[in-house]
A and B are shown apart, each in its own frame.
Chain A
Amino acid sequence: MHPKRKQRLIVALVIVVLSSVTIGLITYALRGNINLFYSPSEVAAGEAPIDRQIRVGGMVVEGSVKRASDRLETRFDVTDFVHSVTVTYDGILPDLFAEGEGVVATGKLGANGAVTASEVLAKHDENYMPPEVAEALEKANAQGSMQ
């Protein structure tokens, strides 16, 4: 290769490597801010600030959803299968909200460790399948757990 071109190639590669390292270090330093939400374990460890707007994400615990009879208020537990956080929300839940599904709740963490949410978003997982396949899977699972 022509020495001049070789030099330019090295300069170009150095630009790419240096900018990657810089941005890598910045995103590493800011990783706490890039995370969209706190996990219930982080909340339990006291990493989430109290009385400030935060987001908590995880799975809705099966059987934990309790709806008030006269208002929209709903109370449910969000878990990462290690710790769980109670969330209360007075509003309309998204269609895909269900027990055993992922959610991200925005709200304030009280001193009692519960979150009063102002917004609840459903977190869809990466699984896509036709209803028949989902049914078949459920059946197979049910049979598997009976044995």
Chain B
Amino acid sequence: MWRIVHQFGSPPWVYRFCDRVIPWLLPITVVALLTGSIWGLLFAPTDYKQGDSYRIIYIHVPAAVVALAGYYVMALAGLVSLVWRVKLADTAMRAAAPIGAAYTAIALITGAIWGKPTWGAWWVWDARITSMLILFFLYVGVIALFEAYENKTVAARACAILSLVGTVNIPIIYKSVDWWYSLHQPASIKFTGSSAIDASMLYPLLGMIISFYALFALLMMLNLKQSLTEEYAQSAWLNKRLTA
């Protein structure tokens, strides 16, 4: 078992793994995103209260869900880098940060666009929205902190600690609508019991969440490959792989 785990620390193995998976993952992601969007935007029924404006849920919720999950990916890579000093974990942590920041920005922007016609305001400083903005700053903070150091080993260590400390924000975002009075509504999808969203609207939403996860994995691999190409430009294994 440990042999499999150790393989993930080996840059040539991971590079080859990405090369093998991407040709499969890319078309699957594109098809899943297209199917989910068309299903959600054209075929799902309109909402009884909001009409068609609710359809932004098919972008907003998947982006927000994966923005939270992506933070754990980044923090976990940070932990591995901090404890086991695996260089590849630094690269993975750095690869996750810009993708997570983009997902968080999409969730914030689509939320504002939906908030104006629904609530009557683009932005409200309630617990959910504010904690989500903090998540965005954490992602951007990790990117900025890494660039701030000349010594990249020290930079990675500082980023790992920042991302570990930031994990406390994730359950706060998730539970904010239950713990405090907020304008943002509580979750419609429930893990236990029946969801507050009708099945005909829920299935395309679940499809989009899965698509957004696939897109995250795809972007992560592309990012990893690019970083590895930069880091190991002088290595024999990479040159052999690129010329082959």
Contact = CB atoms under 8 A, between A and B. Distances in A.
Contacts of B182: 35-36
B46 A131 contact: yes
A122 B84 contact: no
Contacts, number: 119
B127 A36 contact: yes
Interface string A7-34: 0110010011001100110010001001
B97 to A, nearest CB: 18
B126 A36 contact: yes
Contact of B180 (A15, A36, A94, A119): A36
A40 B79 CA distance: 46
Contacts of A93: 120
A131 B48 contact: yes
Interface string B162-189: 0011011100100000011111011110
- Which secondary structure dominates chain A's binding surface? mixed
A111 B82 CA distance: 58
Q: Closest 10 CB pairs between A and B?
A: A130-B45, A94-B120, A134-B48, A128-B197, A129-B198, A36-B126, A35-B181, A131-B48, A126-B196, A20-B168
A122 B181 contact: no
Interface string B136-155: 00000000000000000000
Given A15-B161, A95-B117, A130 B83 contact: no
Interface string B29-58: 000000000000000011111100010010
Interface string A126-146: 111111111100000000000
B228 interface: no
A131 B168 CA distance: 40
Contact of A23 (B50, B84, B168): B168
Interface band, chain B: 35 or more
Interface residues of A, number: 40
Contacts of A35: 127, 180-182
B50 A96 contact: yes
Contacts of A24: 168
A16 B164 contact: yes
Contacts of A104: 124, 183
A95 B48 CA distance: 13
Contact of B172 (A27, A39, A125, A130): A27
26 contacts: A8-B82, A8-B83, A12-B82, A12-B83, A15-B165, A20-B167, A24-B168, A34-B180, A37-B181, A39-B181, A93-B120, A94-B117, A104-B124, A121-B120, A124-B49, A124-B50, A124-B118, A126-B187, A128-B201, A129-B198, A130-B45, A130-B46, A130-B47, A130-B48, A131-B48, A135-B48
Contacts of A37: 181
Nearest to A123: B183
Interface string A93-126: 1111000000010000000000000011111111
